[in-house]
Structure 1
């Protein structure tokens, strides 16, 4: 093949590949958008079908929420499990820095939390984390699960807030009691010099004030 024909062939090949890409990309994006809508609508069979057609299990909506995060928000552990089996990354974050595990904890989805952990999701990390999210809503069983699998009980947010403080703030007596039994440090102060006991007093949570006092907490 002479140089001229080779050049023409090369240009033609590039054009064909470019056209194929242009045709494929919108179609692929469309499948991902369909997947997100199906997850939002809790249509498990539709999601399964779209995954087999090549939709990404990590597809995001316009708010940067992944399909897995949406499943957690919708309290749909079956959907979450389906996405995980399809290869969804459990540690992706949305624009607020939240992971699917954090959202599953916040919405009380113990079964999904277990599935996420089984697939290698990080359950202990700096900043706002799954334990703090679960404690803030008083989900005792999730808190216990996380503690049993080694999360740092006194891990704090950037401003020094701990899981114990958030449980106190929400007036979740049983969760506060559980955290104390596992050794939560009630003397930790946040950047505003607040403590768990101080928060309990400020919020008027008398029973928790008494619980903290019985556990030797000093303000």
Structure 2
């Protein structure tokens, strides 16, 4: 369970990348591996699940204490990645679970900046509405 591959990934990372909740359960119950174990690039199982669009895996990891605000080596949160890959359901989930909305990556971009740069009108709307209601109190 502690064997890493060439990319510094443990089996828990690979299971999250593939949305294999049962495998993640097995690993967490049969080892001392923490739910937020990170790779050299600071990717946690949560990052892998978000990046590949596995909402059920995301929900499970959060239920086990995964940090939704962890950042990778580029300073990106899960929200940055969910927006980049157009996972609206995951964006909405993250916003409901109080992810840091205005977090900036190392290039100074927020998730809303990424949505605007790709002209993703649907996510621009979701993020702008969230900003108006939660951030500015309107």
TM bracket (short chain): 0.7 to 0.9
User: Which residue of the other structure, out of 94, 97, 109, is the alignment partner of 2:8?
Assistant: 97
Change (3 A) 1:212 1:133: same
Query: Match of 1:96, SS?
Result: coil
Deviation at 1:181, TM superposition (A): 0.8
User: Which residue of the other structure, out of 162, 183, 188, is the alignment partner of 2:98?
Assistant: 183
TM-score by length of 1: 0.55
Report which structure shows greater RCO (CA 8 Å, sep ≥6).
2
Per-residue CA distance 1:105-161 (angstroms, 9 max, x = gap): 111212212222222332203411110110011110111111111111110011201
TM-score by length of 2: 0.86
Aligned residues: 129
Please say which structure displays the higher CA radius of gyration.
1
Q: CA RMSD in A?
A: 1.6
Deviation at 1:178, TM superposition (A): 0.7
Mapped to 1, the partners of 2:126 and 2:20 lie a distance apart of 28
1:147 aligns with 2:62: yes
Partner in structure 1 of residue 27 of structure 2: 116
Decide which structure has greater helix share.
1
Per-residue CA distance 1:163-200 (angstroms, 9 max, x = gap): 11111111001111111111101200011111111111
User: Which residue of the other structure, out of 56, 75, 90, is the alignment partner of 1:160?
Assistant: 75
Structure 2: unaligned runs, 5 residues or longer: none
Query: Match of 1:216, SS?
Result: helix
Which stretches of structure 1, 4 residues or more, deviate above 6 A after TM superposition? none
Mapped to 2, the partners of 1:208 and 1:118 lie a distance apart of 37
Deviation at 1:204, TM superposition (A): 2.5
Partner in structure 1 of residue 87 of structure 2: 172
Structure 1: unaligned runs, 5 residues or longer: 1-89
